Structure 1
Amino acid sequence: MSDASRRARLGWAFYDWANSAFATTVVAGFFPVFFKTFWSADYPAETSTLQLGLGSALASLVVLFAAPLGGAIADRRHRKKAGLFWVTALAVAATAGLFWVGRGHWLLAMLLFVVASIGFFMAMVFYDSLIVDVAAPAEYDRVSALGYGLGYLGGGLLLALNVAMTLAPDFFGLDGRADAIRWSFLSVAVWWAVFSIPLFVSVREPSPQQAPAARDALREGLRDLAGTAREILGQREIWLFLLAYWLYIDGVHTIIRMAVDFGLSLGFGQESLIVALLLVQFIGFPAAVAFGWLASFWETKKAIYLGLAIYAGITAWGYFLTSVWQFYVMAGAIGLVQGGVQSLSRSYFARLIPEGKAGEYFGIYNMMGKFAAVIGPVLVGVTAALSGSSRLSIVSIVVLFAIGGFLLTRVDARQAPGTGQTEQG
């Protein structure tokens, strides 16, 4: 492997280190709480919850339709890296803008959050699809896992620093907790911008002799997207994998979203939940990398099965949780498999897709990811309402892992139009 190839792979993987700070500090950490207590503090809790929910739904809806189209256009113009640059710049600017939003200005805060979220998720379309330009098919697993591993480590490190800022603002020369959170948003923007540079410097995207104009690319992208949808329906291995992925990743996302609520329902304090979140991040780093190496001498699908089996065991064990230390063990177990399942799903899908269509296919892949966490929360809520038990409701997620895992057993990468011949079954 040449030095340029190594730099390209490491530069690509470092984008996960860069953008994961948004997912941890902003999305999972401070924005929801700060929105309620600072920007929308003049409204009842129910109203601020509605505002937050509508904003998140709007971002998801935009990405739902824009992701496949953006990927198709990028494929047409061979400009995946350029697309990544512009949506990253948009997201970084919007995240930085949160620093200057004053108390009570909930609409501006929500607008910036929606824009940043759209940029974050659209960036994943271009970023994921670039894996085919930085690694050979036999190396997808390890390179993808390295990205997820660095993402857990980078996101966890900045989150730990931001938590320390809120716990001891005087030590950092800040005027209280609110000031610390505002600076945390700015730190995410700087972190994201700085650590994205290695990708833009080191990754080389092949350029065609002549790329279509933007308007032609849009028209052709729309046509290609419709054709891709028809292609997928005619390619059993791809649509079956996407269906399996949608179900089991719904379970993964549901646990991510419902874990805090589950911990609160058991009476655990906010400090305990922060510790659990940090455990997931720091255990997730070596675990995701280890899953990549596991897949390199084992079958990728078998490694995914292992992750899903552990997930099913974690959710079943959730019924018996009674103490904080057990919640920490649960968080640690999630950290062991969360990045592995996500990274190997990405690399396995990369093997299935036809050459030259990574952008549009990964656009649909990410669209399925946005559809995720739809069935799971409903399943949890309905089970809780019917049974009156939050413990039983969390166990219901096992169904998603079981059905998704079963459907994955029916996928044979060797029958797909991509490079699946490098992977056994």
Structure 2
Amino acid sequence: MNEKRSIASWALYDWANSAFATTVMAGFFPLFFNQYWADPSNPTRSVMYLGWANSVASIVVALLAPFLGAVADRGTAKKKFLFLFAFLGVLMTGGLWFVAQGMWKFAALLYVLGTVGFSGGNIFYDSLLPGVATEKKVDFVSSLGFAMGYIGGGILFAVNVLMFLKPGLFGIPDGATAIKLSFLSVAVWWAVFSIPIFLFVKEPRLVDAVPLHKAFVMGWRQLMDTFSHIRHLKVVGLFLFAYWLYIDGVDTIIRMAVSYGDSLGFDSSILISALLITQFVAFFGSLGYSWFARKIGVKPSIMVAICAYCLITILGYFMNQSWHFLALAICIGLFQGGIQALSRSLYTRIIPRKKSAEFFGFFNMLGKFAAVVGPFLMGTIGYISGSQRMGILSILILFIGGAYFLSRVNITEGEIMAKKYLAD
């Protein structure tokens, strides 16, 4: 019973913070940023500004991630840091309510800090996975977390979309006020549904744990050691490089799709509806992909998803009608949760469990450094060329590179090396 409660509570945090990923990051913030806070007459420049904001947030998290992971391992402080970053995200998201029209710099600042809270918290959320799930259950539990995130974020986003499209039903004066209220609802949702993970998920206690202030000093030393660990665990290093490449394209599509569609002139209601469709398709896609991985293996399943994203990117370059955007939203939903969940569970298999936060710090660091390149590349190339279509096409090479290096990862060898590391 305690194991089931722990798994459910862990997965519920994905339900909680995914509201930020859907309503804020992927949905209303890009739309509102382009049309309300920035310059609606120059959508290409607005996309560039948004790409830069995503890149700045990713740089901050990427630089902090491995160090914080090392500190958390030494001080048994995973849940403490999770609370700190979640609190930052909740506070900054709620603060978007106060940003007036035209104040794009202030909006970008709150968005960057909110994204740091969201992404930083995920480092410690991910690092709790090995203590929650047994080796046999890790694929299922990882997929369950993403599935809960898609359905939870989708439910709130559905309400937010209805508020935006039919503000009169809620007694809201206009769509702009509805979007601002949506940001507040995300902050409340995130805070309330985060409570179970702090109450019911137990963090494994270290025998040699030290006080937090000493953990910072020791964490820096441990961070330096991690480079040598990864060098000796060559399979881990190779997988991280492959992940760095292909997850860049995934994150870029998640963060920039609505902004890209807006720059092509698609109606706001179509863009938001497409994103909502993606959420609910991704719920079933995440669970279905867990079954798919059991049939053909984790690594081949990720390869299939990468190939699918290559095709989606190419089709995105050519799309020119609203139904094209809706169709691609369905395709993205089928593979988005699967590639994220299985990448996390594959990584869990090949790292030493006693250093999970430290290694997940590097996992998230590379993922966020990738998210620096993608949005910046898409926004900048689109601005220079004067065509966002060229911007979206530029991320194709990252999927191809990721697939190539993933094909060279030997999972069995990685599992053996991780267990040998524990024995040494």
The alignment's TM-score, normalised by the length of structure 2, stands at 0.89
User: Which shows bigger deviation, 319-328 or 41-50?
Assistant: 41-50
Amino acid at match of 1:59: A
Paired with 1:177 and 1:267, the residues of 2 have a C-alpha distance of: 19
Structure 2 match to 1:272: 270
- With over 3 angstroms needed to count, the CA separation of the structure-2 counterparts of 1:321 and 1:94, relative to structure 1, is closer
Out of 188, 197, 200, the residue aligned to residue 199 of structure 1 is 197
Structure 1 residue 263 displacement after superposition: 3.2
Residue 405 of structure 2 is matched in structure 1 by 407
Paired amino acid for 1:418: A
Equivalenced residues, count: 419
Structure 2 residue 335 is the aligned partner of structure 1 residue 363: no
Written as runs of structure 1 = structure 2, the 5 A alignment for 1:51-130 is: 55-103=53-101, 108-130=106-128
Question: Looking at both structures, which has the greater relative contact order when contacts are Cα pairs under 8 Å and sequence separation is at least 6?
Answer: 2
Tell me which residue corresponds to 2:186: 188
Given candidates 296, 309, 317, the residue that maps to 1:298 is 296
Can you give the 5+ residue segments of structure 2 that lack an aligned partner in the other structure?
none
Residue in 2 that maps onto 1:164 = 162
Instruction: After superposition, give the CA deviation of every residue in 1:14-56 in whole Å (9 maximum; x if it has no partner).
Output: 1111101111111222224434555567998788777655544
Which residue does the alignment assign to 2:153?
A: 155
- Alpha-carbon separation, structure 2, partners of 1:325 and 1:279: 12
Contact 2:309 2:332 in 1 (8 A): yes
* Aligned partners of 1:95 and 1:112 also within 8 Å: yes
Q: Percent identity?
A: 47
Answer with 5-14 or 391-400: which moved more. 391-400
1:418 aligns with 2:415: no
Which region of structure 1 is more displaced relative to structure 2, 330-339 or 411-420? 411-420
- State how far apart, in whole Å, the 2-side matches of 1:58 and 1:327 are: 28
Residues of 1 paired with 2:108 and 2:130: CA distance? 35
Question: RMSD in angstroms over aligned alpha carbons?
Answer: 3.0
Does structure 2 retain, via aligned residues, the 8 Å contact 1:241–1:408? Answer: yes
| 2:257 aligned with 1:259 | yes
Q: 2:282 aligns with which of 268, 277, 284?
A: 284
Q: CA deviation at 1:98?
A: 2.5
Is the contact made by 2:51 and 2:256 (CA closer than 8 Å) also made in structure 1? no
Q: 1:30 to 1:121 in 2, by over 3 A?
A: same
Q: Which runs of 5+ in 1 are unaligned?
A: none
Distance 1:375 1:106 in 2: 22
Contact 1:40 1:48 in 2 (8 A): yes
Distance 1:40 1:258, change over 3 A: closer
| Number of the residue aligned with 2:307 | 309
Give me the whole-angstrom Cα distance separating, in 1, the residues matched to 2:55 and 2:374. Answer: 16
- CA–CA distance in 2 between the matches of 1:264 and 1:340? 27
In structure 1, the partner of 2:331 is 333
Cα distance between partner residues in 1 of 2:384 and 2:55: 26
- 8 Å contact 1:42–1:104 — kept in the other structure? no
Letter in 1 for 2:418: G
